[in-house]
Each structure stands twice: as C-alpha cells, then as structure tokens.
Structure 1
Amino acid sequence: MSPKGTIAVWDDTHLILADICSPGTIANLNERPALEINVVDSVARKGYRFKGTATVYDEISSDLS
C-alpha cells in the first residue's frame, strides 16, 4: 500500500499517476503491472476502487493522446 496524491482521470478508460519520488512503486509496477487504486472522499464518505493493469511511461508518449 502506497498513498498517492497525484491520481487524475486521463480519459473514459484511463487514470494517470505522476511519479513523484516513488521509485519503489515504479519498480513494483514494472515487475508486476496488476494494480488496484482506492480513492476515498472523506467529506462525502464514499470510496471507489479501480482495478487494472499499469503501463509505466518514462516520458509523455503519443500513446497517451
């Protein structure tokens, strides 16, 4: 479990996560790309779970546009 504050919606089927001092997370995703992201809105007292497969990009790629 590694809390992240950089999750954003990229499009209808993708979320994006910025790598800000997370070498362990990136190494883990490169080794095993299965992931689960849990997002909690503490004010609304609602949470969401997203499961999928990660792709790690070293830089912005045309695959993301």
Structure 2
Amino acid sequence: MKTITNEVRDAVERSVLCWLATNDESGQPNVSPKEVFAVADDQHIVVANIASPGSAKNIRVNQKICLSFIDVFVQKGFKVMGTAVEVKPSESGYARWAAPLLEQAGERYPIQGVFVINVLSVRSILAPSYRLYPCETTEESQIQSALRAYGVTRHKRA
C-alpha cells in the first residue's frame, strides 16, 4: 500500500526542516527539529540522528511518533503518524536507510544513526486562514503575508 504520495514526497523535498515528536517513558512529549531527512520509499521516511539523544531514547521506549513538514510561506504541509526505530551504523540495513541522508549530510554532519519511520497515516496541515477565509485566502496571499512577516523579499528569476 502506497502511503507516501507524490504530493507528500514533493513537500518533503521542498522542506528545510521537519519536526519530530516523541514521548518519553512517562508520556512527556518532546518535539525537535531535524534538517537531514528523506523519503526512502512509499512507506518509509528516514531522519538522521545527528544530535538527538532525547529522540533516540524516547523512540527506544515508545516507537509512536509524529513528524511534520510545513512550507512556512504557503503555510501548508503534512502531518505523518507512524512508528520509528533507530538503525545504528553497526546494524544490518544501515547502508540502505542512510544512503539518501549521507548525500545530504556530507562531511558536515556526523550521522549517529537513522530513525526509520514506518508511515501509518498522513494528513494535510493548513493554516487556519484557508478554512476561515476561503474566498480570500490563496497560496499567493499567504506567501505575501509571510514575506512581510519575515521581512524578506523574493528574487526575480532570470
């Protein structure tokens, strides 16, 4: 069954950061940003464990996770629910899971392990404006609002 659609794959590839939510043994949630990640196949997303001892510990005690990707300008994205395991460099299968991450990380980021996420469900995330003001909210209006809020300008393509 294909859980990760082309639309989700495109959103992952356009994202600069994703957010991984885990829970510790007492149920306390933790959310941390991750910047090296990729779609591995139609059912799995891989995230590099570069400096995430808390996420790794939480995944060992509770494999349920939530991962989100948001385009901060368009203010749309996806919430991925699933389970995760960490695969270390000494373990079987590491090379397969780490391959797309090693391309991104290069020498800059030492990968301690790979969080392999088995995607169980995917839901879209939309800024409330899309629902509250559907007649006036467009991707372009959201982009313009975000550009003003962040104080950035667009470069014209040649």
TM-score (structure 2 length as normaliser): 0.38
In the other structure, the counterpart of 1:3 is: 33
Matched to 1:61, the amino acid is G
| Unmatched segments (≥5 aa) in structure 2 | 1-30, 98-158
1:9-61 CA-partner distances (Å, limit 9, x unpaired): 01111000001111111011111110000110112221100000101101261
In the other structure, the counterpart of 1:61 is: 93
In the other structure, the counterpart of 1:46 is: 76
In the other structure, the counterpart of 1:31 is: 61
RMSD: 1.7
TM-score (structure 1 length as normaliser): 0.85
Q: Which has the higher contact order (CA 8 A, sep 6+)?
A: 2
Percent pairwise identity: 31
In the other structure, the counterpart of 1:21 is: 51
Greater share of residues in helix: 2
Matched to 1:7, the amino acid is F
| Unmatched segments (≥5 aa) in structure 1 | none
Runs of 4+ in 1 over 6 A off after TM superposition: none
